[in-house]
Structure 1
Amino acid sequence: MTNFKFRNIFAKTEERPTPPEVYNWRIYGTAIVASTASVLIGYDTGFVGACFTNTHFLANFGLVPNTGSTDTTVSNLISCFHAAAFFGALLSYPLSHYYGRKVALIVAAGLATVGAAVMLAGVTGSLAPIYVGRVFTGLTVGASTNLTVVYLSEVSPAPIRGQIIAAFEIGWRVGDLVGFWINYGINQHVPPGNKQWIIPVGVQLIPAGLFFAGSFVMLESPRWLFQVNRDEEAIRNLCFLRNLPVENGYMVWEINSIRDSIETQNAQIGPGMLDPAKEVFVRNRKYARRLVISAMLLVIPNFMGIQSINYYSPKIFANIGVKGTNATLFSSGMFGVVKFICTFIYILFIVDNFGRRKAFLLSASVCSLCFWYLGAYLKINDPTKAGNVAGPGGKAAIGFMFIWTASFILAWSGGPFVWSSEVFEQNIRTFVQAINAAMSWVPIFIMTRLTTTMIDKMQYGIFFFFAAVAALAVPFVFFLVPETKGIALEDMDGLFTKGVPAYRAHKRVMEKAAETVIEEQTSQQLFDDRQSSKKAETKYVEDAGANQRSGREELRV
């Protein structure tokens, strides 16, 4: 027992010694401000399902509940947001390429604010403002899933980059939680009428406004500024974020690393807007392979069941034995609480300590087991059928639903965004992340369109489908997804060296970085020794000269 040691869960994986000043309030504050973009995404997830099926919302637009045409209209209202998000992610690339991350985020935030306001005009009884507002906010959300994670990856120090990017997830969960509980509170306390849907629609203006105001406060990405030859501003912004003077050794290393990397990429890839596309799809297929891996990492979790639960959780909880409108809404709200708490656990203890890769593997295994049980339980004893009662198995099913939720959030909710934003070079990062973000919205669109049909047609089989996807994620991650924690963005290419398996790549890159640091320290020591030697020789010569002069003076005397 004397050899047993507790691991410091707050220890940071550093590629090289990092001054403590780097971990300062400025970088964490930047992450919080930028994460307001994701509050809007989370809020939409939390409020829209119950709001658009509210009887007073339907009555305002002349829609009859529980009819095929109404179900189609509601599905269209939900999914047009996701379709717009797909195009918003793609359109964000040229905007950020020419005008920078900050300007692109300001434009996106302004569009969201307008969209949220336009939706309120739907009180007149026309669905047109609802559709227009949903498209505007969808464009913003799609753009922010690209721009925000790229921006955060570019401004954050390597040892805490996972935490900083995962702050995007905090905003998502805050919005998610608020959306769920606003619906629950309205159901409990707001008298029947249009207020029951106008209030949650109007609340969208708050996260949209915060995002718009916050986008003016953020500094432009230093890496983008270096890329467009605005070096003086880039150095000023980087020194502010690192809380270090420009002459500090760490700053000298980081500035030179970024400059060298961008110069190399400009020579190999080119600085033009279409150059990344040529590099990825024509000249260098290694990036195409990496893009497939990162895109799949964003697609897989959205087929593991999270989107179905996000938008249709009341119906799913009812199917596994939770009875009554208030009970199902409360269960959905607690589902949001679990996601919120687990997001903080992920950021504080997992992403930069336990690591991205291990979390993916463990989480996928647990998620698969949970849904195999849920599917088997519903096949054997479906509590929605006459004569069946939920019993202990139903309570266990509800418990497994929450275990599944916790496990998913502790890896697959924010982890794919963290990983995909890290593994590409500066010149192609925004381009490939635009594709990644767009691809992430494809399964969301599909699942929000098909979930109700899958529940009705597949019944218990929908959980077997989700379980199978989670099971397939395990070998995918093991063989193709290397760990990225603690590695500088400029060194990510080493993780994908041909012939090095994913499960060994991280150790290899860290060892190489350690050797480089030792070589630099040795070179510096040799330089210091030479300087000391020169000073000693100079002092010796000076002393010898002084002694000779003293001897001559004595002879004269």
Structure 2
Amino acid sequence: MNTAEPGAGSRIALPPLVAGAYRKRLGLISIVACFGGLLFGYDTGVINGALRPMAAELGLTALTEGVVTSSLVFAAAVGALFAGRISDAWGRRTTIIGLAVLFFAGTVFVVLAPGIGVLIAGRIMLGLAVGGASTVVPVFLAELAPYEIRGSITGRNEVAIVIGQLSAFVINAIIGNVFHAEAHSWRIMFAICAIPAICLFVGMLRMPESPRWLVEKGRHEQALAVLKTVRPADRAEAELEEVLEIAREEREEHQIGLKAVLTNKWLLRILFIGIGVAMAQQLTGINSIMYYGQIVLIESGFDESAALIANIAPGIVAVIGGFIALYMMDRVDRRKTFAIGLTLTTTSHLLIGFASMLLPVGNPARPFVILALVVLFVLSMQTFLNVAVWVWLAEAFPLHMRGLGIGVSVFFGWTTNGFLSLFFPSLIAAVGITGAFFIFAGVGAIALLFVITQVPETRGVTLEKLEVGVTTGAIFTVPATRKRRR
């Protein structure tokens, strides 16, 4: 079912991607845009260490702790759903600038919150911004990057996310141990978020718009001007011609808009597969570790302060795994990385379940064995799944439905994440670490079967060629053994 050649595509031959100054420009653009990923990571990770002092100051119950945590995640689902469509209308760059403002405003609300009402309002604002960033930033990078290095450029956003989460864990550990007697220490943890929000806003003011979005809006000269800043001149002109050709064919065949998606079985199929990929990523339970890692480690046997410090270890290996994933993105097929990742994460779940069952509470080895297995799980997830999933989602959908496709897919992913965030503490209380991770293992086995049988390959092919392959269904039917071509 997998394909290395998703369709007939354009007949335009692209000049090779030679060395040049444009690579520095691409690097700068990716760094600035990835502040959105950094904010995504920090805002989702900071609750891990901020929740306990926050609960102490504001008098939160177990239920309201879950509401405060999950409010960001459910809001992120809404932000993901609408930000894609907004970016289709306003542009990727303009939308990211708006998200930077929303990040800053949400931070102010949370830091100054006098009670749970304002706190949740701020968390919802941050969630809308996080969801929007999770949708728009990968698309922005994918549409600017040459297809030969699209995986490593787009994947930088996921590395920025885990760097943001690691930063949150480190800052939480420092502030939590230095100011452990201060009830308002959690406010300092959240206040740090304002810095990257300002950097994202200022930086994106100087960044270009997506050339493919400009083509979609008929602004061809501007698109060419942007392409010439991130490509050799001859390559820029050839790429523009290819994008224009595909756009013209779609208009002639009326293959644009929501109606085109609903009436084309192949477009519906890629949309449902996108939803499945996004949900499979979340059903591994990775964000339960990122949000409630301290709780898991306390349950395994660490005391509160030690758990806060030990929680840094998964953050460190997540960053290491992210850089390994970047190296692999343009060298290893997406489907292969998905399959390896789900095999390793499912194995990790089983090992955590067995370890917590065989090592009773009070056994001095128990907390360290479970910590090591959690680290293995996070490393496997970040190396083989997280980066690859976000890259795949950013490149799998045709241009005319890219905002809709990734928005709907990520909406379902964030909604899944939200329910896990809301009920994970209750799950741990009901069945313990053993039962929770055995459940994750069962879901992981189902996800592995889905990936092997349904997900098409997207590596090493231009977005325009992928677009033809998805629209015609060729991407689902061309044998994997055929020779890879552009």
Q: Normalised by the size of structure 2, how large is the TM-score?
A: 0.92
Q: Tell me how far apart the structure 1 counterparts of residues 31 and 181 of structure 2 sit (CA, whole Å).
A: 37
Contact preservation (8 Å) 2:297, 2:367: no
Match of 1:176 in 2: 165
Distance 2:243 2:206 in 1: 24
Residue by residue over 1:376-427, the C-alpha shift from the partner in whole angstroms, topping out at 9 and shown as x without a partner, is 22223332xxxx5143x66443322211111110121121111011112111
Residue of structure 2 equivalent to 1:464: 438
Match of 1:252 in 2: 237
Q: What's the CA shift for 1:501?
A: 5.9
> Structure 2: how far apart are the matches of 1:116 and 1:191?
22
Query: 1:299 touches 1:440 (CA, 8 Å); kept in 2?
Result: yes
Contact 1:81-1:138 at 8 Å conserved across structures: yes
Q: By how many angstroms is 1:126 displaced?
A: 2.3
Q: Look up the match of 1:79.
A: 70
> What is the total number of aligned residue pairs between the two structures?
472
Q: Distance in 2 between matches of 1:107 and 1:501?
A: 37
Q: Name 1:404's counterpart in structure 2.
A: 377
Of the candidates 111, 134, 146, which is equivalent to residue 102 of structure 2?
111
Report what 2:8 is aligned to: none
2: distance between equivalents of 1:81 and 1:363?
Answer: 27
In 2, Cα distance between equivalents of 1:277 and 1:489: 20
Deviation at 1:338, TM superposition (A): 0.8
Q: Which residue of 270, 283, 286 corresponds with 1:306?
A: 286
How far off is 1:289 after superposition?
0.7
Deviation at 1:189, TM superposition (A): 1.4
CA contact (8 A) 1:294 1:416 kept: no
Sequence identity (%): 26
Q: Paired residue for 1:58?
A: 55
Q: Which residue identity is paired with 1:78?
A: T
Aligned position for 2:127: 138
State the distance in 2 between where 1:23 and 1:404 align.
37
Paired AA for residue 264 in structure 1: E
State the partner residue of 2:331: 353
Q: Is the 8 A contact 1:495 1:502 kept in 2?
A: no
**Secondary structure of 2:331's partner?**
helix
Conserved? CA contact 2:151–2:391, under 8 Å: yes
Give the one of 276, 299, 309 matched to 1:319: 299
Taking the TM superposition and a 5 Å limit, the aligned residue runs for 1:79-478 are 79-122=70-113, 125-190=114-179, 192-242=181-231, 244-245=232-233, 248=234, 250-269=235-254, 276-281=257-262, 283-321=263-301, 323-347=302-326, 349-383=327-361, 388-391=362-365, 395-459=368-432, 460-478=434-452
Amino acid in the other structure paired with 2:30: A
Q: Judge conservation of contact 1:482–1:502 (CA < 8 Å) in 2.
A: no
Deviation track 1:499-530 (CA, whole Å, cap 9, x = no partner) reads 8767934x53724x4xxxxxxxxxxxxxxxxx
Give the equivalent residue in structure 1 for 2:35: 36
In structure 2, distance between residues paired with 1:500 and 1:307: 31
Structure 1: which amino acid aligns with 2:120? Y
Structure 2 unaligned blocks of 5 or more: 1-12
- The corresponding residue for 1:518 is none
Superposition deviation, residue 22 in structure 1: 7.8
Q: Answer whether contact 1:15 1:487 (CA < 8 A) is retained.
A: no
SS of 1:486's equivalent in the other structure is coil
- Say which SS state the counterpart of residue 142 (structure 2) adopts: helix
Provide the C-alpha distance between the structure 2 equivalents of 1:229 and 1:80, rounded to a whole number of angstroms: 39
List per-residue Cα deviations over 1:216-254 (Å, max 9, x = no partner): 122001111111111111100010111x23xx2x23321
Whole-angstrom distance in 2 between the partners of 1:296 and 1:24 = 34
Task: Supply the distance in 1 between the matched residues of 2:100 and 2:182 (Cα, whole angstroms).
Answer: 31
Aligned partners of 1:51 and 1:371: how far apart in 2?
Answer: 26
**Partner Cα distance (1:503, 1:22) in 2:** 37
Q: What does residue range 460-539 of structure 1 map to in structure 2 within 5 Å?
A: 460-493=434-467, 498=473, 504-505=479-480, 508=482, 510-511=484-485, 513=486
Distance in 1 of aligned mates of 2:187 and 2:137: 29
Cα distance in 1, alignment partners of residues 133 and 456 from structure 2: 26
CA drift of 1:196 comes to: 1.1
Does structure 1 conserve the Cα–Cα contact (< 8 Å) formed by 2:275 and 2:412?
A: yes
Question: Once the 2 structures are TM-superposed, how far is the Cα of residue 90 of structure 1 from its aligned partner?
Answer: 2.0
Where structure 1 has 5 or more consecutive residues not aligned to the other structure, the ranges are 1-13, 65-69, 514-557
Which deviates further from its counterpart, 307-316 or 15-24?
A: 15-24
Shift of the 501–232 alpha-carbon distance from structure 1 to 2, 3 Å rule, reads closer
Aligned equivalents of 1:91 and 1:493: distance in 2? Answer: 22
CA gap 1:400/1:484 in 2 versus in 1, 3 angstroms: same
Deviation of 1:104 after TM superposition, in Å, equals 1.3
**AA paired with 2:305?**
N
Contact 1:41/1:175 (8 A) holds in 2: yes
- Aligned partners of 2:388, 2:370: CA distance in 1, in Å? 26
Question: 2:460 is paired with a residue of what secondary structure?
Answer: coil
AA in 1 matched with 2:35 = T
Provide the rounded CA distance (Å) in 2 between the counterparts of 1:307 and 1:37: 18
- Give the whole-Å Cα distance in 2 for the aligned partners of 1:455 and 1:22: 53
Amino acid at match of 2:151: G
Counterpart amino acid of residue 358 in structure 2? I
Relative to structure 1, the CA distance from residue 301 to residue 15 in structure 2 (aligned partners, 3 Å threshold; closer, same or farther) is farther
One-letter identity of the residue aligned with 1:102:
R
User: Equivalent residue for 2:4?
Assistant: none
The letter of the residue matching 1:164 is I
Backbone CA RMSD of aligned residues: 2.2
The one-letter code sitting in structure 1 at the alignment partner of 2:253 is Q
- Asked if the contact 1:261–1:490 (Cα under 8 Å) also holds between the matched residues in 2, the reply is yes
TM-score by length of 1: 0.80
Greater Cα radius of gyration, structure 1 or 2: 1
- Give how far 1:286 is off: 0.7
How far the C-alpha of 1:489 sits from its partner, in A, is 0.3
